[in-house]
Structure 1
Amino acid sequence: MMSAYIDFIRIRFLMMLAYRVNYYSGIVIYAINIGAYYFLWQAIYGDKESLAGFTVAQMTTYVAVSWMARAFYFNNLDREIANEIRDGSVAVQLIRPYSYLFVKMMQGFGEGLFRMLLFMVPGMIVVCLLFPVKLPTDLSTWLIYLVMLFFSFLINSQINILTGLFAFFVENNEGMMRMKRVMVDLFSGVVVPIAFFPGWLSGIMQWLPFQAITYLPSAVFTGRTPSNEIAGVLGLQVVWFLGLLLPIWFVWRTARKRLFVQGG
């Protein structure tokens, strides 16, 4: 049965190849975004060597890595699920001999692999040529970061799946999906590192899963997180991954009992 799920990864990867031109242009767009943030932070730092514990070099690397990591973990699983609920095709998915939610996760992973190989890696090379990004030389840092990046994908996909499933209850969750996207980009630390938020807000955000998507992995990658705290940071990602399984299971269990098909 597991081989069937792996086929979903392969099929989604091949489907993304049909739209690879979009991702080539996306490399340029992301490079422009990174460039804009780079010059913005240069202006903010001015003559200062560090702000909120970030040196200028760390901030440059953080911006580049955060945006390129977003290329990997980003997906539209919430929109796919919501569309299938609205047009009624989810009913066909439910009678098939596999886990609907697990299939969605595998499809998202196939898309993520495509984005990593044809978007994130070449995009990072381009950015390193354009801006003074300092990549770590320690192999263990790279390995830990890749593990944390995988959990970033899992946690972000879980939030997307949970958002998409709410279409069972509100029928049109377009506004919820837009709000979710803004919250993930803002509270995960892509736009502004969490260390720059006011104390009371950063305290609240420590109890939310968003920091585990971008801020924690990028902080480890840039060397901001001390080596003796890396295990705890990775453990926090694992806790959020396991913790999000419960609301997904509850919403999915409740949603299947009230499914009605709108399409025809």
Structure 2
Amino acid sequence: MMSAYLDFIRIRFLTMLAYRVNYYSGIVIYAINIGAYYFLWKAIFGSAETLQGFTLAQMTTYIAVSWMARAFYFNNLDREIANDIRDGSIAMQLIRPYSYLFVKMMQGLGEGLFRLILFMGPGLLIVCLLFPVKLPKDPAVWIIYFIMLMFSLFINSQLNILTGLAAFFVENNEGMMRMKRVLVDLFSGVLIPIAFFPGWLKSTMEWLPFQAITYLPSAVFTGRTPMSEAWGVLGLQAVWFFVLLVPIMFTWRAARKRLFVQGG
């Protein structure tokens, strides 16, 4: 059975490969975003050496890595699930001999691997040539960062699955999906590092999974979080991964009891 799930990873990777030109243009768009944020933060820093513990060099690296990480963990599983529910194809998925939710996770992983090889990797290389990004020299940082990136992908996919399953209850969750995307970009630290949030909001973020998607891995990569604390941060990501399984299972169980097909 596990080999069947691995096939879903391979099939999604090959499917994404068929549209790879779209992702080459995406590299240019992400480079423009990184450039805009780089010059913005450079103006904000002015003559200051540090802001909220960030040096300009760390901030530049944080911006580049955060946006490239987003290119890796981003997917549309929420929209795919919502479409399956609206057109009724979810009914056929439920009678097949595999776990629908696990299949979606594997498809998200296949897309993430594609994005890592053909989007994030080349994109980071180009950004390093354009902007003063300082990559860590310690191989241990790269290893733990890659592991943390995988948890970022899984946690973001879990949030997408939860949002997609909401279509069972609200029928049209388009607004919810857009709101979720804004919340993830803002509260995960892609747009603004969480260190710059007001104290009460920063404390609130410690009790939510968003920081585990971008801010925590990027803080380790830039050296803001020392390696002595990196394993604790990785453990926090693992905790959120297992915690999010609980609402997914309860939502899935409740959703299957109220399934009705809207399409033909």
Are 1:42 and 2:42 matched, yes or no? yes
Identity, in percent, stands at 81
TM normalised by structure 2 equals 0.99
Matching residue of 1:61: 61
CA contact (8 A) 2:188 2:213 kept: yes
- Structure 2 distance, partners of 1:62, 1:131, is 12
Shift, 1:17, TM fit: 1.1
Matching residue of 2:88: 88
Shift, 1:200, TM fit: 0.6
Shift, 1:185, TM fit: 0.1
Shift, 1:230, TM fit: 1.2
Shift, 1:28, TM fit: 0.2
Equivalenced residues, count: 264
Matching residue of 1:124: 124
CA contact (8 A) 2:5 2:106 kept: yes
- Structure 2 distance, partners of 1:107, 1:144, is 23
Which amino acid counterpart does residue 30 of structure 1 have in structure 2?
Answer: Y
Are 1:24 and 2:19 matched, yes or no? no
- Structure 1 distance, partners of 2:246, 2:210, is 17
Shift, 1:56, TM fit: 0.5
Matching residue of 2:204: 204
- Structure 2 distance, partners of 1:226, 1:119, is 28
Which amino acid counterpart does residue 16 of structure 2 have in structure 1?
Answer: M
Shift, 1:109, TM fit: 0.7
- Structure 2 distance, partners of 1:126, 1:221, is 18
Are 1:235 and 2:235 matched, yes or no? yes
* 1:212-246 residue CA offsets vs partner (Å, 9 max, x unmatched): 00000000000000222112111110100000000
- Structure 2 distance, partners of 1:220, 1:103, is 31
- SS of residue matched to 1:258: coil
* 1:22-51 residue CA offsets vs partner (Å, 9 max, x unmatched): 000000000000000000000000000110
Matching residue of 1:100: 100
CA contact (8 A) 2:86 2:171 kept: yes
Cα RMSD of the aligned pairs, angstroms, is 0.5
TM normalised by structure 1 equals 0.99
Shift, 1:132, TM fit: 0.3
Which amino acid counterpart does residue 248 of structure 1 have in structure 2?
Answer: I
Matching residue of 2:252: 252
> Runs ≥4 in structure 1, deviation > 3 angstroms?
none
* 1:157-205 residue CA offsets vs partner (Å, 9 max, x unmatched): 0000000000000000000000000000000000000000000110001
- Structure 1 distance, partners of 2:69, 2:221, is 11
Shift, 1:18, TM fit: 1.4
Matching residue of 1:6: 6
**Unaligned segments of structure 1, at least 5 residues:** none
- Structure 1 distance, partners of 2:206, 2:189, is 12
CA contact (8 A) 2:141 2:227 kept: no
- Structure 2 distance, partners of 1:102, 1:225, is 32
